[in-house]
Chains A and B, each alone.
Chain A
Amino acid sequence: MSKQILMPQYGLTMEEGAVEKWLVKEGDVIKEGDVIAEIVTDKLTNDLVSEVSGTVLKLVAAEGEDILVKGVLAIVGEPGEAIDDAPVPQAEAAPAVPAPAAAPVSQAAPAPVMAPGGRVKISPFARKVAEKNNLDYSALTGTGPSGRIVVKDVEQALASGGVAAAPVAIPAGAAGVAVAGDEVVKMSKMRKIVAERMSASAREIPAVTQDIKVDVTKLMTLRAQINEGREVRISVNDFVLKAVAKAIRQHMDVNVSMDASGASIIRHQHINIGMAVSVPGGLMVPVIRDADKKSLETLAHEAKDLAVRARDSKLDPAELQGSTFSVSNLGMYGITSFTPIINQPNAAILGVCTAEDVVALDKEGKLYNKKVMTLSLTFDHRLLDGAEAADFEKTLKTLLEEPLQVIL
Chain B
Amino acid sequence: MAKKKYEKSFLVELYRRMLRIRKFEEQAKECFTKGMLAGNIHLAIGQEAAEVGACAALTDRDYITGTHRGHGQCIAKGAKTDKMMAELFGKKTGYCQGKGGSMHIVDASLGILGANGIVGAGIPIATGAAYASKTWGDDAVTLCFFGDAAANQGTFHEAINMGAAWDLPVIYLCENNKYGVSTDISRVTNNEHISERAAAYNIPGVTVDGNDVLAVYEAVKTAVERARRGEGPSLVECITYRHEGHYCGDQAGYRPGEYMEEALAHEALPTFRKYLLEQGVKEEEIVKVEEEITQEIAHAYKFADESEYPDPSEAFTDVYSMDNERSVLR
Is there direct touching of A and B in the complex, by C-beta distance under 8 Å? no
Interface residues of A (CB under 8 A from B): none
